[in-house]
């Protein structure tokens, strides 16, 4: 398969060369990559389906790539799509989807939080005729209450807002049929909230429950600020309801202000009271400027999104694809090569 430099490759992709593709996006995961590969391969070998493992190196700056380059010569079904820099997990997943050739595609985290042991069950569900097998987290081991609570609230707010039903507590760990993936690859949008896009596509879906394991090693790549950004991305990509809320809030506050003014006027004219002074004025000004700034920010969020989309930049850039044929010839740096030899 030729290496496309940019996204949008679904039409040229060599469909169904294998039955099952496993996509693993990763960013600086040197501690878990060999563990992940070692746990995954016996499970895939036990299946009757032919398979490929597509790692997507999302611009790692550690020696993750040399760990995989050392694995590839003995595991020809494994390849690595290396991006030119860190584009974020959503873009890395899109790169993986574009390079996967399977009739069914499974997205998996490198840190083994999504147990690969569930793959046979997912394949079985797919064979029974569904297009999507979503994995719903029953329990999240090794994640603090704040993360669990924020995830819980976010999924519920989002599904309340969005027209397409985005199932709660399902992440990126899922199986998708070729036609679903082909559709996803046609989406032109740059701001990609994948969990929303999966739901938007629709198609018959099976939901399997599982317990999410703690990370096998290494540290999470998300902090709360990044998660807040992703949550905002999710909501603004799939709903314009916050704009309506802003308008509703503006109406309520304006009505309140009107009545309040009328009340002061009445008090002054009928009872000769003084106009209440500085503190109430300050309170009103602060309240109103807060609401104004919030709504301007909200408007800006949507305008910014339209601006980003209008630039039509590629989603990601592929530096190279390292597989059985190219592992010797790829532009691994001399430091990378030294690492391969020493492994």
Q: Give me the residues that bind Mg ion (CB under 5 A), please.
A: 109, 111, 113
d(CA 119, CA 40): 9
Does residue number 31 form part of the binding site for ligand UDP (CB under 6 A)? no
CA 330 to mean position of chain CA atoms: 29
Does residue number 234 form part of the binding site for ligand UDP (CB under 6 A)? no
Does residue number 113 form part of the binding site for ligand UDP (CB under 6 A)? yes
CA 135 to mean position of chain CA atoms: 15
d(CA 116, CA 122): 10
Does residue number 63 form part of the binding site for ligand UDP (CB under 6 A)? no
Backbone angles phi, psi at 251, to 5 degrees: -65, -45
Q: How far is the CB of 288 from ligand UDP (least distance, A)?
A: 38
DSSP code, position 81: E
- Span near ligand UDP by CB under 6 A; candidates 219-227, 246-254, 275-283, 291-299: 219-227
d(CA 316, CA 27): 14
Does residue number 109 form part of the binding site for ligand UDP (CB under 6 A)? yes
Residue from 52, 111, 169, 323 binding ligand UDP (CB under 6 A) = 111
d(CA 176, CA 122): 10
CB 58 within 8 A of CB 24: no
Number of residues that bind ligand UDP (CB under 6 A): 16
CB 237 within 8 A of CB 305: yes
- Span near ligand UDP by CB under 6 A; candidates 214-222, 269-277, 319-327, 329-337: 214-222
Residue from 84, 164, 165, 220 binding ligand UDP (CB under 6 A) = 220
Does residue number 90 form part of the binding site for ligand UDP (CB under 6 A)? no
Does residue number 137 form part of the binding site for ligand UDP (CB under 6 A)? no
Task: Return the closest-CA partner of residue 118 out of 102, 182, 151, 109.
Answer: 109
Largest CA distance in the chain: 93
d(CA 339, CA 65): 10
d(CA 140, CA 291): 36
Q: Report the partner that residue 242 touches, choosing among ligand UDP, Mg ion, none (CB closer than 5 to 8 A by kind).
A: none
User: Hey, what are 197's tokens?
Assistant: 């896009």
Does residue number 101 form part of the binding site for ligand UDP (CB under 6 A)? no
Q: How far is the CB of 273 from ligand UDP (least distance, A)?
A: 58
Q: How far is the CB of 28 from ligand UDP (least distance, A)?
A: 7
d(CA 208, CA 205): 10
- Span near ligand UDP by CB under 6 A; candidates 24-32, 118-126, 157-165, 274-282: 24-32
Does residue number 27 form part of the binding site for ligand UDP (CB under 6 A)? yes
- Cβ distance to Mg ion smaller for residue 35 or 284: 35
Q: How far is the CB of 49 from ligand UDP (least distance, A)?
A: 23
Residue ranges in contact with ligand UDP by CB under 6 A: 25-27, 29, 58, 86, 88-89, 92, 109-111, 113, 220-222
């Amino acid at each position: 398969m030729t290496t496309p430099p940019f996204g949008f490759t679904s039409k040229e992709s060599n469909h169904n060369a294998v039955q099952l593709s496993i996509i693993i996006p990763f960013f600086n995961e040197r501690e878990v990559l060999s563990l992940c590969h070692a746990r995954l391969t016996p499970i895939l070998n036990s299946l009757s389906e032919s398979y490929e493992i597509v790692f997507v190196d999302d611009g790692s700056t550690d020696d993750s790539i040399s760990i995989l380059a050392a694995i590839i010569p003995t595991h020809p079904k494994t390849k690595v799509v290396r991006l030119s820099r860190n584009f974020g997990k959503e873009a890395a997943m899109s790169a993986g989807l574009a390079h996967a050739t399977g009739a069914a595609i499974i997205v998996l985290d490198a840190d083994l939080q999504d147990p690969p042991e569930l793959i046979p069950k997912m394949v079985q569900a797919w064979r029974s005729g569904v297009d999507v097998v979503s994995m719903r987290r029953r329990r999240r081991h090794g994640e603090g209450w704040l993360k669990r609570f924020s995830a819980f609230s976010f999924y519920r707010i989002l599904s309340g807002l969005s027209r397409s039903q985005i199932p709660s507590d399902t992440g990126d760990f899922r199986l998708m049929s070729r036609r679903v993936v082909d559709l996803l690859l046609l989406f032109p949008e740059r701001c990609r909230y994948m969990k929303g896009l999966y739901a938007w596509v629709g198609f018959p879906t099976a939901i399997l429950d599982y317990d999410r394991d703690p990370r096998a090693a290494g540290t999470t790549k998300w902090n709360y600020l990044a998660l807040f950004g992703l949550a905002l991305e999710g909501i603004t990509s799939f709903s314009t309801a916050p704009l309506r809320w802003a308008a509703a809030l503006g109406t309520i506050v304006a009505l309140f202000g009107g009545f309040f003014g009328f009340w002061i006027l009445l008090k002054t004219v009928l009872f000769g009271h003084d106009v209440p002074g500085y503190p109430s004025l300050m309170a009103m000004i602060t309240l109103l400027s807060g609401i104004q700034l919030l709504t301007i920010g909200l408007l800006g969020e949507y305008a910014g999104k339209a601006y980003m989309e209008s630039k039509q930049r590629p989603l990601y850039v592929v530096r190279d694809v390292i597989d059985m044929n190219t592992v010797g010839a790829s532009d691994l740096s001399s430091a990378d090569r030294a690492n391969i030899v020493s492994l």
